[in-house]
Amino acid sequence: MTAASKPVLLTGASGNLGRVLARELGAMGHRLRLTDLTAFPDELPAGAEFTRADLNDGPTILRLAEGCGAILHFGGASTDQPFETVIGPNIRGLYHVYEAARREGARVLFASSNHSIGFHERPAGNAARLDADCAFRPDSFYGLSKAYGELMGRMYWDKHGVENLNVRIGSSFPEPIDARMLATWLSFGDLSRLCDRFIGAERVGHAVVWGASDNPDTFWGEDHRDRIGWAPQDSAEAFRGKVGGLTSGNPVTERYQGGGYCAVGYSRDRPSPADAFALDDEA
């Protein structure tokens, strides 16, 4: 059986993106096993089942993954949180997901984040966009956990052959809410189609895709989307007149790709160098 013909496990199903994916992927005909720490608030899609579970509970995650061809991992702390809050679901929980995938021969789509590279500066004018092989520059403990998650996928591919796609999600909301999102916005439709393509792809390997729609202002360049045959169909450009003038006024927020996450708890007296390994006086 191929990954597309087997059940799909979706973690974080009760979250904002999880609910969208449950609805859309269910409508596409995928057989879904949904799980989250909190109850699923919507009507279950046809053929779907929901199990309330903690990502820290390894045996339960292993049981839920039995017979699955793909795991869409959207569970865990999904915003900037203290280290002790992040470490359980985002580190230990991810290990349980990958162990389940290894045992079942399943592939993993990991909901990574732009916050894994958030301290890269925003490109100006015709400056080069970041490619998928850029250095990690996390902007928070949340972003750090996403960088760790991508590295875990790298190890499980090299050591066990577990295929994984790391989607560095920009800003996935019904519509952009500020000027930064003209670069980072990912429509719900584009996200759902990306997940569908991942499930049905012939081969994935270890891959990274920038999770953004077809936005002219994008911060990001080359990635591995061709492996799954995905191309975004939507664009933030339609919202430019509505949000193009909405900025934070915070110089740290506006300098870096991670936006407001970079400014939380920021204590430097001058910006960090654009070159990740330069000294301040070389910036």
Contact status, residue 125 vs residue 136, Cβ threshold 8 Å: no
Options 95, 98, 142, 148, the catalytic residue? 142
From its phi and psi, is residue 5 left (phi > 0), alpha (psi between -120 and 50) or beta? alpha
* 3-class secondary-structure state, position 24: helix
Residue 142 catalytic?
A: yes
Per-residue DSSP letter, 197:
H
Cα radius of gyration (the chain): 18
Contact status, residue 228 vs residue 197, Cβ threshold 8 Å: yes
Residue in this structure with the two tokens 């046809």, named with its chain if needed? 46
Q: Which residues pair with 52 in a beta bridge?
A: 36
d(CA 90, CA 76): 5
Active site residues: 142
